[in-house]
Chains A and B, each alone.
Chain A
Amino acid sequence: MRTLFNFLVKHNDWFLLLLLEGISLVLLVRFNNYQGATFFTSAGSIAGNVYSIFMDANRYFHLKKENDGLVAQNLALTRELSELKEQLTEYKNNEMLENSPIVEGISSGYNFLTATVINNSLNKVNNFITLNKGTDDGIRAEMGVFNSDGIVGVVYLASKSRALVIPLLNSKSSISCRVKGSDSFCSLSWDGGDPRYSTLIDLPRYAQFATGDTVVTSGFSSIFPGGLPVGTVEEIEDSADGMFYSVRVKLFTDFSRLTTVFLVGNDGQEEQEKLEKQVSKKGK
Chain B
Amino acid sequence: MRNFLNRLKYFIILAALQTLLFGHIHLFGYATVYIYLLFILKMPRFATRNEQMMWAFALGLTVDIFGNTPGINAAAATMLAFMRNYILAMFISNGINEDLIPSTRVLRWGSYVSYAAICTLLFAFILFTLELFTFSMPLHLLLSVGSSTLLTLLFLIVFESFNGQSK
Quick check: is A66 within 8 A (CB to CB) of the other chain? no
Known: A13-B49, A31-B71. 5 other contacts (CB 8 A): A23-B57, A24-B71, A24-B72, A28-B72, A42-B68
Q: Would A20 and B74 be within 8 Å (CB), given that A13-B53, A13-B82, A28-B130 are in contact?
A: yes
Q: A13, B70: Cβ atoms under 8 Å? A: no
Chain B: which residue is nearest A30 at the CB level?
A: B70
Most chain-A Cβ atoms within 10 A of its Cβ — which of B64, B65, B72, B130?
Answer: B65
Q: A21, B79: Cβ atoms under 8 Å? A: yes
Quick check: is A27 within 8 A (CB to CB) of the other chain? yes
Q: A25, B53: Cβ atoms under 8 Å? A: no
Quick check: is B41 within 8 A (CB to CB) of the other chain? no
Taking CB atoms and an 8 Å cut-off, the chain B residues in 64-99 that contact chain A are: 64-68, 70-72, 74-75, 78-79, 82
Which A residues lie within 8 Å of B67 (CB)?
42
Q: A17, B82: Cβ atoms under 8 Å? A: yes
Q: B71, A20: Cβ atoms under 8 Å? A: no
- 16 A-B residue pairs with CB within 8 Å: A16-B50, A16-B53, A17-B82, A20-B75, A23-B57, A24-B72, A24-B78, A27-B71, A32-B134, A40-B70, A41-B65, A41-B68, A42-B67, A42-B68, A44-B65, A46-B65
> Main SS of chain A's interface residues?
helix
Taking CB atoms and an 8 Å cut-off, the chain A residues in 98-149 that contact chain B are: none
Which A residues lie within 8 Å of B78 (CB)?
17, 20-21, 24
Q: Would A27 and B82 be within 8 Å (CB), given that A16-B53, A20-B57 are in contact?
A: no
Q: How large is the interface on B (under 10, 10 to 19, 20 to 34, 35 or more residues)?
A: 20 to 34
Most chain-B Cβ atoms within 10 A of its Cβ — which of A24, A25, A27, A32?
Answer: A24
Alpha-carbon gap, A119 to B130, bound state (A): 76
Chain B 89-120, CB-CB to A under 8 Å as 1, else 0, gives 00000000000000000000000000000000
Chain A: which residue is nearest B15 at the CB level?
A: A50
Total A-B pairs, Cβ < 8 A: 73
Chain B: which residue is nearest A32 at the CB level?
A: B134
Alpha-carbon gap, A174 to B51, bound state (A): 106
Alpha-carbon gap, A23 to B19, bound state (A): 21
Quick check: is B142 within 8 A (CB to CB) of the other chain? no
With both chains docked as a complex, state the minimum distance between the C-beta of B11 and any C-beta of chain A, in angstroms: 14
With beta carbons under 8 angstroms apart, the residue of A21, A25, A42 that contacts B66 is A42
Chain B 34-52, CB-CB to A under 8 Å as 1, else 0, gives 0000000000000011100
Quick check: is A26 within 8 A (CB to CB) of the other chain? yes
Alpha-carbon gap, A23 to B78, bound state (A): 11
Q: How large is the interface on A (under 10, 10 to 19, 20 to 34, 35 or more residues)?
A: 20 to 34
Quick check: is B61 within 8 A (CB to CB) of the other chain? yes
Alpha-carbon gap, A31 to B130, bound state (A): 13
Chain B: which residue is nearest A29 at the CB level?
A: B71
Which A residues lie within 8 Å of B20 (CB)?
54
Q: Would A28 and B75 be within 8 Å (CB), given that A13-B53, A17-B53, A20-B53 are in contact?
A: yes
Alpha-carbon gap, A24 to B72, bound state (A): 7
Quick check: is A76 within 8 A (CB to CB) of the other chain? no
Which A residues lie within 8 Å of B71 (CB)?
23-29, 31
Alpha-carbon gap, A42 to B19, bound state (A): 10
With both chains docked as a complex, state the minimum distance between the C-beta of A52 and any C-beta of chain B, in angstroms: 12
Quick check: is A51 within 8 A (CB to CB) of the other chain? yes
With both chains docked as a complex, state the minimum distance between the C-beta of B85 and any C-beta of chain A, in angstroms: 10
Alpha-carbon gap, A50 to B18, bound state (A): 13
Which B residues lie within 8 Å of A41 (CB)?
65, 68, 70
With beta carbons under 8 angstroms apart, the residue of A16, A20, A40 that contacts B65 is A40
Which B residues lie within 8 Å of A30 (CB)?
70
With both chains docked as a complex, state the minimum distance between the C-beta of B60 and any C-beta of chain A, in angstroms: 7
Most chain-B Cβ atoms within 10 A of its Cβ — which of A23, A29, A30, A51?
Answer: A23
Quick check: is A37 within 8 A (CB to CB) of the other chain? yes
Q: B70, A27: Cβ atoms under 8 Å? A: yes
Quick check: is A47 within 8 A (CB to CB) of the other chain? yes
Which A residues lie within 8 Å of B50 (CB)?
12-13, 16
With beta carbons under 8 angstroms apart, the residue of A21, A42, A44 that contacts B75 is A21
Chain A: which residue is nearest B20 at the CB level?
A: A54
Alpha-carbon gap, A31 to B57, bound state (A): 17
